[in-house]
Amino acid sequence: MASFDVMSEVQLYQPAELGDALNLAEELGSDGWLLGGGQDTYGWLKDRAKQPRAMIDLNGIEALRGIRESDDGIDIGAATTLRDIIRHEGIQRDYSLLSDAAARVASPQIRNVGTLGGNLSQDTRCWYYRRGLDCYRAGGNICYANGPAAMNREHCVFGASRCVAVSPSDTATALVALDATMVVESTNGQRTVAAEDFFVGPDTHITQMTSMKPGEILTAVRVPAKWAGKRFYFEKVADRDVWDFALVSIAVAMTMDGDSIAESRFVCGGVACTPHRLTNVERAARGKSLSEESAEAVAGLASQGAEPLNYNHFKLPLMENLVRRAMRG
């Protein structure tokens, strides 16, 4: 008897050189599924929600691994594991915002094999979408999470445009706060994209989470020396301490001038379709000291402009409280 719960045939490619991977990505286009640590991929395959025709396994490409320090900052290969990022002395010393964020991803088992590129490129975790329903993000004409009876406590309070699913990456908020640059390559050459522009919302491309095009591979992430050794704060609020995605998270980078904030980045996760910069908080924090008084003065700005759904109003005071904690010093 034929089984209806069988994965479709998938052609697996395992290139050892970046050039070969780029050629495969160009040849296969949107049919070529890029495979890093596989933690997002295997979930899709297990649920039969996506059935790629071919996979390009990037794990055998040495050029995509490793962490390189220079006077300009630090370059991290996209296939570098989260574990290696957490343990790297240079990142711990100069860019602890990133190592702190990486340390809150899922569980130790996943961090051992999960890659930075995979964490940044993963698809949204909206359960309506991941069950294979024909929502906007899947090419349909409805958002199941945005309705009077929808369960949407994990969904966005900013930036909704038909789709209300949030960006799930913990490292993304840290890299936006650090003004990182993504290095993207194809057979046509290399281009760089600011981290803030790498992630796209449904108003830009409703079926994608990033600005990556078919045939392109994220090869590295560059963090500028500008933020080396500055003051950082990262906190993630989730239903569980491990193996869970953020309800709300915050990544903060500050340059201090004596006791005052000269420049800052406040970036929230779990509240929008992309990592959400709190630019109004950044402006208000300039020139202020780290104190209870300053925390109270700027915290309320975090939720300005929010449009919560039926079941996620709680995210607004969570955002405000995370800003308070970062501003208390």
pLDDT averaged over every residue in the chain: 95
Residue 63: C-alpha distances to residues 12, 109, 140, 148 (Å): 20, 24, 39, 49
36-89 pLDDT tens trace: 999 888 888 887 778 899 999 999 999 999 999 999 999 999 999 999 999 999
Looking at the DSSP bridge assignments, the partners of residue 183 are 192, 220
Which uninterrupted H or E stretch holds 328? helix 315-328
CA dist., res. 251 & res. 245, Å (int): 15
Domains of the chain by range and CATH?
11-60 (3.30.43.10), 62-121+165-328 (3.30.465.10)
- Tokens in use for 297? 């003065």
- Residue 5: pLDDT band with limits 50, 70, 90: low
Whether residue 219 contacts residue 186, with contact meaning beta carbons closer than 8 Å, is answered with: no
- Residue 1: pLDDT band with limits 50, 70, 90: very low
Residue 214: C-alpha distances to residues 4, 61, 136 (Å): 30, 19, 20
Determine the pLDDT at residue 317: 98
Question: Rg of the Cα trace of the chain?
Answer: 20
Provide φ and ψ at 96, rounded to 5°. Answer: -65, -15
242-255 pLDDT tens trace: 889 999 999 999 99
- pLDDT of 222 > 50? The answer is yes
Determine the pLDDT at residue 207: 94
- Residue 265: pLDDT band with limits 50, 70, 90: very high
Q: Which of 15, 49, 48 is nearest to 34 (CA)?
A: 15
Residue 272: exposure state from Cβ atoms within 10 A (0-12, 13-18, ≥19): buried
Residue 304: exposure state from Cβ atoms within 10 A (0-12, 13-18, ≥19): exposed
- pLDDT of 219 > 70? The answer is yes
Residue 187: C-alpha distances to residues 25, 26, 27, 190, 309 (Å): 9, 7, 10, 8, 43
CA dist., res. 53 & res. 76, Å (int): 30
- Tokens 């970046």 sit at which residue? 18
The residue type at 105: V
